Amino acid sequence: MSDDPVLTTRALAKRYGRRTWALTGIDLDIPQGGITALVGPNAAGKSTLIKTWVGFERPTRGGVTVAGIDPWRDRAGALGHLGYVPQSPALYDGLSVADHLDLARQLRPSFDREYARARLAQLDIPADRGARSLSGGQQAQVALAMALGTRAPILLLDEPLASLDPLARREFLHVLTDAVRGDGATALLSSHIVTDVEQACDRLIVLGVGRVLLHETVASALGAHSISTTEHPDAVASFGAPDGSRIYLVRGTADRPASLDEVVLGYLASGRSAVAAA
């Protein structure tokens, strides 16, 4: 196993139109193996970042690599290492589940149709069902099975949980973690629902206002942060608690351990404060 990061960005910036910056100079190294959660609010640039790795978006500045390959220079080479689950599982209305797997096989000859079919069978998703008649959760599972069937060492999942009910989200994450750990793959899962990814992910990237606010393992993020209910000199940021009081995320020791949700909220609040100050 190589220690080289499998997904990188260097000073990555992406602008839409003349003024809207989705990403503003991001440096990231995502190591091989495990699941990395990419969390952030809507319009934080999560999809843009993932689409840049897939080769769907061209960086305005800076660059990205997939397994050391620049996807804009060598799209085929980069895609050969990638399995991708789009934000909304857009399947072909007129095709059955089996047709989708056949199509994937035609588009990528190395696609492991039997593996994907077996995964779907475990979930009792019939291969002869039309994609249109599947539930949202089942459609997401088909999209995941297609990504897993590529047997790619890197999986990029662009908010696949967004439109799923809690049960379907749990099932999806179960399949994902099972497959990634079984195959030794690397997955990057974007989401704006922190609690969903907490159990499944090994690493955490908090993206806000177009830049990386936090990037470390889930364990170290939880271990390094705590909550203070009063103003604290080492506070990263403050934000409103559910009971209406103000709490402070502290990098260090304070009143009580922080939950992952609080860590993320704290860094998002710090990102907003930085923008407001600027």
Q: Does 172 bind another protein (CB under 8 A)?
A: no
- Whether the CB-CB separation of 25 and 77 falls below 8 Å is answered with no
Gap between the Cα atoms of 134 and 90, Å rounded: 12
Tokens of 269: 């609040």
Which residue in 79, 214, 221, 260 binds another protein (CB under 8 A)?
79
Size of residue set near another protein by CB under 8 A: 30
Nearest to another protein of 95, 127 (CB atom):
95
Residue 40: other Cβ atoms inside 10 A: 26
Residues sharing a CB contact under 8 Å with residue 109, sequence separation 6 or more, in sequence order = none
Q: Does 127 bind another protein (CB under 8 A)?
A: no
Q: Does 92 bind another protein (CB under 8 A)?
A: yes
Nearest to another protein of 102, 198 (CB atom):
102
- DSSP 3-state of 155: strand
Between CA 176 and CA 182, with CA 177 as vertex, the angle to 5 degrees is 105
Which residue in 66, 91, 134, 168 binds another protein (CB under 8 A)?
91
User: Cβ of residue 84: shortest distance to another protein, in angstroms?
Assistant: 4
Residues sharing a CB contact under 8 Å with residue 71, sequence separation 6 or more, in sequence order = 52, 53, 54, 55, 64, 65, 78, 79
- Whether the CB-CB separation of 21 and 15 falls below 8 Å is answered with yes
Nearest to another protein of 73, 256 (CB atom):
73
Q: Does 104 bind another protein (CB under 8 A)?
A: yes
Q: Which of these ranges, 72-80, 183-191, 198-206, 211-219, lies near another protein under the rule CB under 8 A?
A: 72-80
Nearest to another protein of 88, 273 (CB atom):
88
Which residue in 12, 22, 116, 146 binds another protein (CB under 8 A)?
146
Which residue in 108, 117, 151, 272 binds another protein (CB under 8 A)?
108
Q: Does 159 bind another protein (CB under 8 A)?
A: no
Nearest to another protein of 92, 234 (CB atom):
92
Gap between the Cα atoms of 205 and 207, Å rounded: 6
User: Nearest CA to 158 among 28, 62, 53?
Assistant: 53
Binding site residues, another protein, CB under 8 A:
51, 54, 56-57, 75-76, 79-80, 82-84, 86, 88, 90-95, 99, 102-104, 106-108, 111, 143, 146, 150
